[in-house]
Amino acid sequence: MASKALIAGVLVLVLIVAAAAVISTQRGEEAQPTETAASPTPAQTTPKRETTPAETTTPERETPVEAPKQELVFVYGTTQPTATFDPAKARDETELMSVINTYDPLVYPSREGVKPWVAERWESNEDATEWTFYIRKGIKFHSGRELTAEDVAFSMERALAIKAGFSFLWIDIVDRVEVVDRYTVKFYLKEPYAEFPATLAVFFIVDKEEVLANIKDGPFGEYGDYGQEWLSQNDAGSGPYRVVKFERGKEIVFEKFDDYWAGWKPGAPDRVVVRVVGEQATLVSMLRRGEVDMVEQWLPADIFEQLKKEQGIVVQEDPTAQLFFVSMHNKKPPFDDVNVRLAVAHAVDYESIINFVFKGGVQAEGPVPLIAPGHCPVPKPTFDLEKAKEYLAKSKYKISPENPVTVEFVYVAGLQVEEQVGLILKQNLEKLGINVELRPEPWARIVELAKTPETTPHMVAIFHTLKFPSPDSHTYLMFHPNAHGTYISIMWYENPRVTELLDKARRTVDPEERYRLYCEVQKIVTEEAASLFIINPMHRIAYRDYVKGYEYVGILGFDLRFSNLDISAKYG
């Protein structure tokens, strides 16, 4: 009996221990997180391993599910609509902004020169007539294709055929392009051109297959219209963003290209929205309310001064490689007379324009900005109405308050700074007998007017930012007949001696001699008052204080490469 009682007691003890173990296990399972849709299914659950008495039993925990990534959206506000996305046709800041964000140039500009980009290196023969570029491997177009030497050659041939945009940089220079192999391309030039690599900062590479898949009937034989109609609203690039929406005159939306070869910095925008707003006052209000993150540089200086005082807004100021000038049509009376142009040059109140309109900057010394490569100091005209009258007396036009003439002054509609300059000119030129009629026009209209001497107005207000790091940008592009028909050369200046010097400068391999020739050009065009070289202004741009990484490059449009920004602080 005693042994039976002992056995029964042992059995009871075993049952109690077993029950306690079951209860303990149930409590451990209850402590686990509730299963979500992302949790493993029973078939995926990893078997539990056995624990030893020395181990503490810990409830299993599932891997936390990451919350959806916050999309980083950057909004840029401008008053200027984009006319085209075609890199062979873009020529002003608004168009280049779109191109720079969707395409890659062969080389990349900086204030010091150009650096490797699509081309990882290059070389030339001794007389700079043959240039070989070695293409970086692994660059993907938005289509998924790899960028090769074939695309580079096609892009140059297309630009030369279309004859728009910056093609005038190469039309009289490039003889032919050879695809040496998949990653090597060679440019044969008609004559030596030592500044050739610098110009390729505005040569953007298109996806040949994508363009040819979207051609329509046109004047280029088997290439039809070279895809111009399609590329006016779409992109075929390899840049950091691709176009996903385009409403002309209203809005552009760019979307991050995940496979971008140069990679992505933390906090870079996933999506960029460019909003076109008709009035600058509206644009400023949108910045204040946080409806846009950054606004264009073209606001009046007094607005930037106001924005400096406002919480949450940054106004960044940098010395600029930019010239603000007012053209005088050298082939249209009365500005076809050098004495009339010199008279007007001495009727400009430069100090008032610098101090009260631009609120900073320096009077221009000729066409090349002071901080640009190859600037040459030249005598500056002074505000002297008596001297202005002396020049008028020498002219073939007997202009006076009693015998007045009327000229047009065209400026970009909505740009108050240009209108204010026009009003100052109007006030002073009336004293000489030159009546100035102010006429605002949309920027796209001004670009069109500049294409022929017949449609070009007497005077036009122009901002000309360095297009590539060379004095060629502010000499050849402005004063050589081959460059006529653009807003940069809108004064229609022509002087055989200047043309000769510019051609010689491009052929000169020795940099010291080349810059001496560019300097001589700067002196001549200033002495002849080819245009009113007014100011090298400060570059100002305003943005919300959570925008980081903005850098002024000094080359037109390249500071608006949005992938360089960090806007992560916008979302906390």
Distance between CA 327 and CA 144 in Å, rounded? 45
- Of the pLDDT bands very low, low, confident and very high (cuts 50, 70, 90), residue 83 is confident
- Secondary structure of residue 460 in the 3-state scheme: strand
Q: Is 5 exposed, middle or buried (0-12, 13-18, 19+ CB in 10 A)?
A: exposed
Distance between CA 379 and CA 366 in Å, rounded? 8
Torsion of CA 66, 69, 70, 75, to 10 degrees: 170
Place of tokens 């245009």: 531
Distance between CA 114 and CA 120 in Å, rounded? 11
pLDDT of res. 554: 86
pLDDT digits (tens, 9 = 90+) for 452-505: 999 999 999 999 989 888 999 999 999 999 889 999 999 999 999 999 999 999
Whole-angstrom distance between the N-terminal and C-terminal Cα of the chain? 79
Mean pLDDT confidence for 501-526: 94
Taking a C-beta distance cutoff of 8 angstroms, is the pair 446, 460 a contact?
yes
Q: Give 132's strand partners.
A: 123, 186
Containing H/E element for 86? none
- Secondary structure of residue 439 in the 3-state scheme: strand
pLDDT of res. 278: 84
Q: Which two tokens stand for residue 508?
A: 């000169």
pLDDT of res. 67: 56
Distance between CA 141 and CA 136 in Å, rounded? 13
pLDDT digits (tens, 9 = 90+) for 373-401: 899 999 999 999 999 999 999 999 989 99
> Where in 286-335 does DSSP place strands (E)?
294-295, 313-319, 322-327
| Res 521 pLDDT > 80 | yes
pLDDT digits (tens, 9 = 90+) for 131-189: 999 999 999 999 999 999 999 999 999 999 999 999 988 998 999 999 999 999 999 99
Q: Which two tokens stand for residue 519?
A: 């300097």
| Res 336 pLDDT > 90 | yes
Distance between CA 229 and CA 251 in Å, rounded? 19
Mean pLDDT confidence for 225-231: 97
Q: Which of 392, 463, 476 is nearest to 434 (CA)?
A: 392
Taking a C-beta distance cutoff of 8 angstroms, is the pair 367, 321 a contact?
no
- Of the pLDDT bands very low, low, confident and very high (cuts 50, 70, 90), residue 509 is confident
Which domains does the chain show, CATH number per domain?
68-101+239-319+539-572 (3.40.190.10), 104-208 (3.90.76.10), 321-536 (3.10.105.10)
**How much of the chain exceeds pLDDT 90, in percent?**
77
pLDDT of res. 556: 85
- Secondary structure of residue 474 in the 3-state scheme: helix
Relative orientation angle of helices 280-289 and 301-308, to the nearest 10 degrees: 10
| Res 36 pLDDT > 80 | no
pLDDT digits (tens, 9 = 90+) for 399-436: 999 999 999 999 999 899 999 999 999 999 999 999 99
Amino acid type, 136: R
- Of the pLDDT bands very low, low, confident and very high (cuts 50, 70, 90), residue 303 is very high
Q: Is 189 exposed, middle or buried (0-12, 13-18, 19+ CB in 10 A)?
A: buried
- Secondary structure of residue 176 in the 3-state scheme: strand
Which stretch of 58-67, 245-254, 333-342 has the lowest confidence by average pLDDT?
58-67
Other Cβ atoms less than 10 A from the Cβ of 253: the count is 17
| Res 226 pLDDT > 50 | yes
Containing H/E element for 99? helix 93-102
Bond into 334 cis (ω within 30): yes
Q: Give 539's strand partners.
A: 318
Q: Write down the mean pLDDT value for the chain.
A: 88
Distance of CA 554 to the CA centre of its chain: 10
Q: Report the 3 state secondary structure along 446-500.
A: HHHHCCCCCCCCCEEEEEEECCCCCHHHHCHHHHCHHHCCCCCCCCCCCCHHHHH
- Of the pLDDT bands very low, low, confident and very high (cuts 50, 70, 90), residue 66 is low
Q: Which two tokens stand for residue 349?
A: 């109140």
Q: Is 490 exposed, middle or buried (0-12, 13-18, 19+ CB in 10 A)?
A: buried
Taking a C-beta distance cutoff of 8 angstroms, is the pair 215, 227 a contact?
yes
CA distances to 97, 204, 254, 512, 558 from 142, in Å: 18, 14, 12, 42, 20
Number of residues assigned to the chain: 572
Beta-strand relationship, 73-78 and 294-295: parallel
Instruction: Report the largest interatomic distance among the alpha carbons of the chain, rounded to a whole angstrom.
Output: 145
117-135 burial code (b ≥16 CB/10 A, e <16): bbbeebebeeebbbbbbbb
Q: Is the dihedral of CA 154, 157, 160, 162 positive or negative?
A: negative
- Of the pLDDT bands very low, low, confident and very high (cuts 50, 70, 90), residue 39 is very low
Cβ-proximal residues to 415 (8 Å cutoff; 6+ apart), any chain: 79, 280, 298, 461
Pick the residue with more confidence: 67 or 87? 87
pLDDT of res. 68: 66
**How much of the chain exceeds pLDDT 70, in percent?**
88
| Res 14 pLDDT > 70 | no
